[in-house]
Amino acid sequence: MSSLARRIRELSRARRAVILAHNYQLPEVQDIADFVGDSLQLARKAMEVDADVIVFAGVSFMAETAAALNPDKLVLHPNPASGCPLADYLTPQMVREYRRACPGAPVVVYVNSVIGAKAEADYVVTSSSAGKLISRLGVETVVFGPDKNLAEHAAAEAGVEVIKAPPYGHCPVHEYLLHAYYVRKALETHPKAKLIAHPETPREVRSMAFRVGSTAQMLKALGEVEGDEFILATEEGLTYRARKLYPGKRVYPANPQAICIDMKKITLHHILKALETLKPAVKLDPQVGRRAREVIEESLKLLK
């Protein structure tokens, strides 16, 4: 362990802090974290941890979600510049407009959305829970945003019509750097490998995949699916996690250049500074945070 990592550990204990990191974070950030997972796992962990301080190594919407779920804890986002272009596609105003335009249709938003959009929604889902929750609503049509690819995947899983809010919302990494062109090249390079894809990838990529799921589901599949050679069609950071969990398997990124620069903006130095200064703290409008928390908690109950 480096001296920097050791100092982070010492300060974390002194502050009664817990470090949560997403599967796409830098390897050294994953290694220093108390818990590494996908959006749903981290949302649940944020509600369970016995700590005074939560250091969230993820993009801004994740830190906002943790703050909404833990109003009595100090939530630190080590680098506020770590945003999410996908989340920015759906504003609170747009949610209200879709609700007026589609009366009677539940509004379901992806956890990859700004806190204000969550507060305006009926339900909040992750990539692993979208189809499952929608199928339990007993309706024929839902409004879903902001990711168009996940909307299609959830619609197919739930057997309902999904109105995309907006029709063009997407994650640039999954949409462009994991285009079918790159995935086919990876399959040609590793012809014996099985493809596992994230639902934010385009339809053509999902159709080629042996299994489609969230980052946690993708990791789980590596332990369940026969074979020892796999290609992961998602942000390249998951490959590090997969190789660490399954050292006996050969795991390749569909495109080594599929890098979320926002996820990579958080470094060990940012985490150390956050623990030293207890800044930057995530500040939410109390009313917005309370409403978002209610929506998230009700959504989680529906998934039990």
Say yes or no to pLDDT of 40 above 90.
no
Q: Please check the confidence at residue 60 and state whether its pLDDT lies above 80.
A: yes
Q: State yes or no: pLDDT of 234 exceeds 80.
A: yes
The pLDDT of residue 53 is: 97
Q: Quick one: three-class SS letters along the chain?
A: CCHHHHHHHHHHHHCCEEEEEECCCCHHHHHHCCEEECHHHHHHHHHHCCCCEEEEECCHHHHHHHHHHCCCCEEECCCCCCCCCCHHHCCHHHHHHHHHHCCCCCEEEECCCCHHHHHHCCEEECCCCHHHHHHCCCCCEEEEECCHHHHHHHHHHHCCEEEECCCCCCCHHHHHHCCHHHHHHHHHHCCCCEEEECCCCCHHHHHHCCEECCHHHHHHHHHHCCCCEEEEECCCHHHHHHHHHCCCCEEEECCCCCCCCCHHHCCHHHHHHHHHHCCCECCCCHHHHHHHHHHHHHHHHHCC
Give me the domains of the chain, ranges plus CATH numbers.
3-83+263-283 (3.40.50.10800), 87-169 (3.40.50.10800), 179-253 (3.40.50.10800)
pLDDT tens, residue by residue, 104-152:
999 999 999 999 999 999 999 999 999 999 999 999 999 999 999 999 9
Q: Summarize the confidence of residues 50-71 as an average pLDDT.
A: 95
Give the confidence band of 47 by pLDDT, cuts at 50, 70, 90: confident
pLDDT of 42 reads: 87
Please give the share of the chain, as a percent, with pLDDT higher than 90: 94
pLDDT one-digit tens code per residue, 63-84: 999 999 999 999 999 999 999 9
| pTM, 2 dp | 0.96
